[in-house]
Structures are given as C-alpha cells and as structure tokens.
C-alpha cells in the first residue's frame, strides 16, 4: 500500500493511492496515518478495503507529511562510507545518532526555507523507516517486524550551524522545513528488500546524488535494534538512515542552496519530492 495524508498544513486527512494512481479518502475508515493505525493489524485491515468505493480526492490537493503525530525523528550520520569520505570523516565504529525536531517536518513538495544567517544550507536524500510496532531491546532478527513502512526524507542541513557553531549536530538539522517526508508511506510488502533501492537528488536539474541503499554501512535491521538499546521505539517514530555521496558540502568547491532553486529527489518505489527554495525573508 501507498498511504498518504492530504490537505492544508495541520488539517491533513488520511488517504491511500489506488492501483490507477487515484488518491482515495480514508477518513471514513481511520482518523490519521499515525499511532495504532500503523500496526500490522491495521495495515491488514486496510489491504482488505475495496478502494473503488472510497471517495476520490483531487490530485491537485496538497500532499502533507506521510505520517502524523510523529514522536521522534531520529537520524543516522555518516552511514555511507563514500559520503563519510567526502565529508572528511572516518566511518564511525558505531552509528552516529542525532535528532531532527518534529517542527522541521513538512510535506514532500512544500517550500524549503533557508534560515536567517545561513550560508551553507545543504541537501541529503535519505531512506526513512517508520516504526509501526513499539519495542525496546529489539533483536536484529526481529527488527523488520517493527516497520510500518518506508518513505523519502530530505535531511536538509545547515552545515555552519551543524559543524562550526559548537555543540551537537542538532542545531543545523532541525530548522523549520528541514524535514520533508513522503509523498507516501509505502508498506514493507511493496518494497521487499530495503537495502536494494536506488536513490537520487537533483538541484535545478543537475544530478548531485545518485546512489543506492545497498552501500549503507549499518543496515535497517541493525539500526532498529541498535537504537532500541537507548530508547523505546514507538509507532510513528521515523528513522532517517543516512545519505549517499553528492551533498553540497562534498563538492569541490562546496555548493550550497540559494533562494530560487528547485530540489527534486526520489527513492525507488517510494515516490518523488519537489521543493522550491526560499530565503527566510521571502517565505
């Protein structure tokens, strides 16, 4: 299934994409793509629906974040060896963990706003893993049973705030609009192996990132198990699993986003995002 949320910011309703690519209204069935509705039982119930009987929603309707009521937005840094190299860093002996604030979350095609004082706002296409079943101390062999689905994440990052302003990475990762997710939450049955998905990102039509989840250092089952040692994972939590090479920081010389530019990014089977870039004063 491809689940999504549509409508004005803060007023999104749950929806599903049918086999013909028509958006169908799920609001008469569930109240949101969130919480208990991410469980295996709820997903099984949705697969049994006759989608042709659900109301159609115009494809011109805004698509919002594909998951509602997100509790934690957990990110993994330097999880592709070639990206670590372009960043001038060693592959870490354990996963690097940081957070994006949930206030950074926005729709896949919403505007991205360069914050005040920024000169180094960057892009990162990433595979997002959405938790559907709560757990602590999860065995790696059981980890994928806790996944509700997968989505595209653009882990937008302000590199000066992240790397040059002391403290943790978080201050450069969680600015408003720095967490577009979606367009769809795609259930695991449609994806198969999450470690074999092509991914790319363009800025103004120029391909900067062109990689695959095959080259992750720490793969999805390990990450779920690892993170569950330090926190309980809850339905609706998002794990953003790292980015392949080609970020602006890694260009020679570095290249960063400017107002007026357009980003487009995609992961195989998970849909495409398109974002216009604005400066804070223009947004």
State both tokens at 129: 């893993």
Yes or no: say if 174 and 101 are a contact pair by the CB < 8 Å rule: yes
Place of tokens 């198969």: 192
Between 189 and 82, the higher pLDDT residue? 189
Residue 150's nearest CA partner among 87, 193, 211 is: 193
Please check whether residue 224 is in contact with residue 185, taking contact to mean a CB–CB distance below 8 angstroms.
no
Residues in CB range of 274: below 8 A, 6 or more apart: 108, 109, 262, 263, 264
| pLDDT > 90 in the chain, percent | 92
pLDDT at 24: 98
pLDDT at 281 exceeding the cut of 80: no
Question: Is the pLDDT assigned to residue 96 strictly greater than 70?
Answer: yes
Q: In the 3-class helix/strand/coil scheme, how is 78-132 assigned residue by residue?
A: CCEHHHHHHCCCCCCCCCEEEECCHHHEECCCCCEEECCCCCCEECCEEEEEEEC
Distance of CA 205 to the CA centre of its chain: 21
Partners of residue 175 on adjacent β-strands: none
**pLDDT tens for each residue of 21-44:** 999 999 999 999 999 999 999 999
> For residue 100, what pLDDT is reported?
97
Q: What confidence score (pLDDT) does residue 283 get?
A: 52
For 43, phi then psi, to 5°, come to -65, -40
Omega before 204 within 30 of 0, i.e. cis: no
Q: Is pLDDT above 70 for 13?
A: yes
Q: What is the pLDDT of residues 212-269, one digit of tens each?
A: 999 999 999 999 999 999 999 999 999 999 999 999 999 999 999 999 999 999 999 9
Q: How sure is the predictor about 150, in pLDDT bands with cuts at 50, 70 and 90?
A: very high
Q: Which domains does the chain have, with CATH numbers?
A: 67-279 (3.90.850.10)
pLDDT at 25: 98
Over residues 70-81, the mean pLDDT reads 95
Task: Please report the pLDDT score of residue 51 as a whole number.
Answer: 97
The pLDDT score that the predictor gives to residue 70 is 98
Mean pLDDT to the nearest integer, 268-278: 98
* Alpha carbon distance 136, 82 (integer Å): 31
Q: What is the pLDDT at residue 282?
A: 60
Q: To the nearest whole number, what is the mean pLDDT of the chain?
A: 96
């Amino acid at each position: 299934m491809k689940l999504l949320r549509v409508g004005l910011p803060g007023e999104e309703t749950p929806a599903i994409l049918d086999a013909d690519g028509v958006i169908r209204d799920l609001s008469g069935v569930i109240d949101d793509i969130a919480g208990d509705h991410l469980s295996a039982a709820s997903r099984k119930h949705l697969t049994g629906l006759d989608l042709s009987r659900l109301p159609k929603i115009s494809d011109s309707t805004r698509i919002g974040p594909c998951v509602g009521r997100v509790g934690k937005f957990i990110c993994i840094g330097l999880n592709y060896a070639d990206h670590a190299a372009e960043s001038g860093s060693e592959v870490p002996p354990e996963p690097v963990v940081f957070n994006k604030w949930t206030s950074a979350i926005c729709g896949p095609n919403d505007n991205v706003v360069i914050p005040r004082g920024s000169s180094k706002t960057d892009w990162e296409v990433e595979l997002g893993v959405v938790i559907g079943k709560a757990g602590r101390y999860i065995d790696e062999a059981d980890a994928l049973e806790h996944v509700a689905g997968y989505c595209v994440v653009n882990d937008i990052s302000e590199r000066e705030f992240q790397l040059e302003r002391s403290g943790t990475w978080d201050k450069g990762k969680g600015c408003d609009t720095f967490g577009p997710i979606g367009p769809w939450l795609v259930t695991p049955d449609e994806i198969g192996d999450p470690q074999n998905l092509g991914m790319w990102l363009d800025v103004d039509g120029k391909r900067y990132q062109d990689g695959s989840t095959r080259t992750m250092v720490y793969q999805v089952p390990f990450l779920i198990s690892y993170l569950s040692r330090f926190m309980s994972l809850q339905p609706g939590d998002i794990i953003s699993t790292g980015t392949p090479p080609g970020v602006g920081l890694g260009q020679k010389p570095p290249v960063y986003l400017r107002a007026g530019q357009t980003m487009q990014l995609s992961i195989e089977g998970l849909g495409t995002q398109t974002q216009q870039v604005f400066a804070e004063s223009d947004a």
